[in-house]
Amino acid sequence: MFSMSRAARRKADGAGQPGVAGKPGGTGTAGEIRVRSAAGRWVLVASVLGSALAGIDATVVNIALPAIGRDFGAGFGTLQWAVTAYTVALASLILLGGALGDRYGRRRVFNVGVLWFAAASLLCGLAPTAGLLLAARALQGVGGALLMPGSLAMIQASFHPEDRARAIGSWSAFGGVATAIGPFLGGWLVQAASWRWVFLINAPLAVAVVLISRRHVPETRDPAATGRIDVLGAALSCLGLAGVTYAIIAAPEHGAGSPTVIVSGALGIAALAGFLVAEARQAHPMLPLTMFASRQFSAANGVTFAVYGAFGGVFFLLAVQLQVVSGFSPIAAGTAMLPITIMMLLLSARFGRLSQRIGPRLPMTVGPLICAAAILLMFRVGPDADYLRDVLPAVVVLGFGLAVLVAPLTATVLDAVGAEHAGVASGVNNAVARAAALIAIAALPAVTGLSGRSYDDPEAFSHGFHLSLIIAAALLVAGAVLAATMIRTPTAPPAEVPAAPQEEEPSAPRMHCAVDGPPLTARECNSG
């Protein structure tokens, strides 16, 4: 059994990839669908629309925050929770969502996630109180954690090996387009109708996704996925992140020494400590701590935590700054960040190939420094800011810095553990990035004095925003220093078992070729 070649195992499995058992479904069979076929186009439609549900929602909610606050008469802490409630659930459960798909069927779990996300979106759009909105946002995060891993996994398992790279490239390209359109659409809905339509519009799209998926996407699962699902780890991580986040957000209002803050913070820290203990003892942990024995893997995730903490905090506050302080309309604020998406789509794959030749250390050092310079350029975003003069230079430089940084960062994370663990490594890195953004969104306003009705006071909000920029720039510089001192350039690629002749080498360096996209090979990035 263990002496069977990788190519032979793939042929035996029938789905064209290790550990995937395909069976007929709709108009195609798992592992045999071609990109140019009608079945292939339908699989792409289902996967792209499903991932777009969660991807677009994560960006457009920031645009709707001032309108949500005014509608409910809510304080700034409520606006923070409108983002962090979703992120707590997503960051805690996304690894569990992938494991559930492998075990019980990727299409099935994907569809459950889509319907769950749609139901939670309806609750968000119809919420009569701020408290119900926040609870519904947390439920949205659960749905996102179930659907997001399955979106790419369905493509990997459904398409013929020769077409897999092209299919993933198309998925990434269309996903990038959706990311670009999302804030514009969200801003238009807020401005022309109501912030509630940002959520309500998800329901008909979700129904279409499920109908297409059930008709055209074959079911696949991993027969090698055995052992107990790590429910304890997921519960402890969710409780830990929620407790710490609540303590940070509540501290400005209740005082750092209040019983509420102390108890929630202590419970959160205890739960996170329990999570680490549980993961160390689990036979099949959600987060394999042994991966962090690699210095390269640990350092790359440390850089990820620093830089994505900076980005998460800045993107959250910039959407409010543009509307409250600079007087931008929701639709103008929504499209202000579009150049970042364009720069990433155009340049990320190119810088990924450059990092293959020169190694990751230099790009991972220079990239955060360029981003830090862009963050400091945002000091020009104030009262009566002009987009072309004050906003566009900052976002263009930021997009360039991200293109320099993200591709080698992702490749370093995956190369540090070998191709056989690439899926888990990518999931861990994704969770680290989301947890960093979560903590930054909670902590930056507390540190800079943004609380209560700050979003209704342009002068106070602008002061807090500018202090946050300094902290974010410092985080980026810290990430650059960590990369310069801890990231090494491998002298030779790790030895890997050869792949089947028709497929790309499994050790091919991977990168992001779209904003917040999955790690892809250079061939996949250029195949869309």
Would you state the pLDDT for residue 504? Answer: 39
DSSP secondary structure letters along 130-166: HHHHHHHHHHHHHHHHHHHHHHHHHHHHHB-HHHHHH
Instruction: List, for residues 187-220, the tens digit of each pLDDT value.
Output: 898 888 899 999 999 999 999 999 999 988 888 8
**Which token pair is 417?**
């553990």
Name the residue among 396, 403, 404, 401 with its Cα closest to residue 337: 396
Task: Classify strands 21-22 and 220-221 as parallel, antiparallel or unpaired.
Answer: antiparallel
Strand partners, 414: none
Indicate the pairing of strand 520-521 with strand 220-221: unpaired
Q: Which positions of the chain have pLDDT values less than 50?
A: 1-26, 493-528
Kindly provide the residue ranges of all beta strands, DSSP E only, lying in 432-519, ordered along the sequence.
510-511
pLDDT value of residue 264: 93
> Whole-angstrom Cα distance, residue 394 to residue 388?
10
Residue 126 C-alpha from the chain's centroid: 26
What angle is formed at CA 205 by the lines to CA 343 and CA 432, rounded to 5 degrees?
Answer: 50
Element (H, E) at 24: strand 24-25
Which one, of 115, 120, 124, lies nearest residue 50 by Cα? 115
DSSP classification of residue 286: S
SS (H, E, C) 437-448: HHHHHHHHHHHH
Q: What is the pLDDT of residue 518?
A: 42
Tokens of 447: 């540190």
**pLDDT value of residue 154:** 84
- Residue 47 is predicted with a pLDDT of 87
Structure pTM?
0.79
Q: How far apart are CA 297 and CA 305, in angstroms?
A: 12
Quote the CA–CA distance of 511 and 436 in Å, as a whole number: 20
Closest CA to 409 of 370, 362, 469, 374: 362
Q: How many CB atoms lie within 10 A of CB 493?
A: 12
